Amino acid sequence: MNDETKMDKRTFLRGAAAALICGAAATAAKGLSPRMVWQIDPEKCTRCGRCATHCVLAPSAVKCFHSYSICGYCDLCGGYLRPDAKGRDTGAENQLCPTAAITRTFIENPYYQYKIDKDRCIGCGVCVEGCSVFGNGSLYLQVDHGICVNCNECAIAHACPSDAFRRIPASEAYLLKSDQERRIR
């Protein structure tokens, strides 16, 4: 090593301390900005079916969610049975969901509980459309953060014709169909 590139101990330690301080400041700044996640605004969603076909994951990270506070627990559920179903027969040929992701459980006459099997749901929105047209709209699509890889440029968001996708801080709860305050933001 020649004299020009030689560094004394004090100069080395100052440089190392400055690098550590800058690194700590950068790490702290990252901690201040919240982690952003994709959400679907249920009020803007038109149930076009693109969530099922444009997600980089197969099946899609978009799943059907159920707002139990809105649900009427109807015997003749528009999101569960086809509109042209013959009576209330719950055979597979009369079910609306193409993957049988909705299970129906008898509670008491005339009430039934409907649950979504997230592993079977492909995010196509067929049940959501049926519930909106023939029911009270308690079924809606939402990004499941346990599955979503949080792409920086979400392919579904680009394909969404109603601009229903947006990013919000992960600390905020899911956008719910009945949550008026969040829809206004």
Which structure tokens are listed for 124? 């196509």
Instruction: Write the DSSP assignment of 26-86 as a string of letters.
Output: HHHHHHHSPPEEEEE-TTT----SHHHHH-SSSS-SEEEEE-TTT----SS-TTTB-TT-S
Distance CA 150, CA 40 (A): 13
Pick the range with the lowest mean pLDDT from 94-108, 110-124, 136-150, 163-177: 163-177
**Of 1 and 183, the one with more pLDDT:** 1
Residue 157 has pLDDT above 60, yes or no: yes
Q: What is the mean pLDDT of residues 158-182?
A: 79
Q: What is the mean pLDDT of residues 23-27?
A: 45
pLDDT at 185: 40
Q: What is the pLDDT of residues 60-113, one digit of tens each?
A: 999 999 988 888 888 888 888 888 766 666 777 788 999 999 999 999 988 999
Domain ranges of the chain: 36-184
Distance CA 130, CA 79 (A): 5
Residue 7 has pLDDT above 90, yes or no: no
pLDDT at 2: 52
pLDDT at 183: 41
By C-alpha distance, which of 158, 157, 70, 144 is closest to 114? 70
Task: Cis check for the bond before 161: say yes or no (omega within 30 of 0).
Answer: no
